[in-house]
Amino acid sequence: MEVNDYNNDYDANSSSLTADAVAKGLKTLGMHPLAQKHTFLELNLSNQRLNDISLINNYPLVMYLDISNNQIQSLKALEGITALIHLKAR
């Protein structure tokens, strides 16, 4: 099975996070308690063979993030996610 046959939401050569993968992983639309506006509160990016999640900085209001079962070497990309209260990165 080719990687692209498994999941077309990431670049098979670089395993970088894409906007399409983020859009499919966004869940739980609700009122953000700090920003006082409606936003997606949860992002599930598990099992996508990612090693680069730098695009996640575009979603600073995410509160619940699942990046488990990927190939991520650094969590530095999460520094801008100031509202993050739950991280699953096993």
- Is residue 34 pLDDT above 90, yes or no? no
Domain of 22, in residue numbers: 3-88
- Is residue 77 pLDDT above 90, yes or no? yes
| Longest CA span, the chain | 45
- Is residue 2 pLDDT above 50, yes or no? no
Out of 11-15, 32-36, 65-69, pick the least confident: 11-15
CA dihedral 10, 16, 19, 24 (to 10 degrees): 50
Q: What DSSP state is assigned to residue 15?
A: -
Number of domains the chain is built from: 1
Report the candidate in 43, 37, 50 with the shortest Cα–Cα distance to residue 87: 43
In the structure encoding, which two tokens stand for residue 63, read together? 């509160």
pTM over 0.75: yes
- Is residue 13 pLDDT above 80, yes or no? no
